């Protein structure tokens, strides 16, 4: 079985400062990991994904994440926050197989202040 733990339920940053959203995973095999963003009352948008290729993954809107096996982490970062980044962020791990289930973390709400 696989799982993800998002260490912070809420993160607040000032506009223009770096963003760090933390995620640790647990998996008995090499996992596929994702970060999704959800704006209020909207569906989910894929930010980036790791599928056993390069450990530093670049996504949309300036976000990136680094897969660190030794630390079982997949933290999401962005050098400079923008007001439009305020949303809920989910770290997700995918199971194996053709009907691969996604297991979602509990989410981190990012607040961006002026």
Partner 1 sequence: GAVVSQHPSRVICKSGTSVKIECRSLDFQATTMFWYRQFPKQSLMLMATSNEGSKATYEQGVEKDKFLINHASLTLSTLTVTSAHPEDSSFYICSASFTGGGSYEQYFGPGTRLTVT
Work out how close the CB of 52 gets to partner 1 at its nearest, in angstroms, rounded to a whole number.
12
CA distance 2 to 17: 33
Beta bridge partners of 46: 36
Residues 47-76 that bind partner 1 (CB under 8 A): 49
Work out how close the CB of 80 gets to partner 1 at its nearest, in angstroms, rounded to a whole number.
27
Residue 30 binds partner 1 (CB under 8 A): no
User: Is 79 buried (19+), middle (13-18) or exposed (0-12) by CB count in 10 A?
Assistant: exposed
Q: Enumerate binding residues for partner 1 (CB under 8 A).
A: 36, 41-46, 49, 90, 94, 98-102, 104-107
């Amino acid at each position: 079985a696989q799982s993800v733990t998002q260490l912070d339920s809420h993160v607040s940053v000032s506009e223009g400062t770096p963003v760090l959203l933390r995620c640790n995973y647990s998996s008995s095999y090499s996992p596929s990991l994702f970060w999704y963003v959800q704006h209020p009352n909207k569906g989910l948008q894929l930010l980036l994904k790791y599928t056993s290729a390069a450990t530093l993954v670049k996504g949309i809107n300036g976000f990136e994440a680094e897969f660190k096996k030794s630390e079982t982490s997949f933290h999401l970062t962005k050098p400079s926050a923008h007001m439009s980044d305020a949303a809920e962020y989910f770290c997700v791990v995918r199971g194996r197989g053709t009907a691969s289930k996604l297991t979602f973390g509990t989410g981190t709400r990012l607040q961006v202040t002026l």
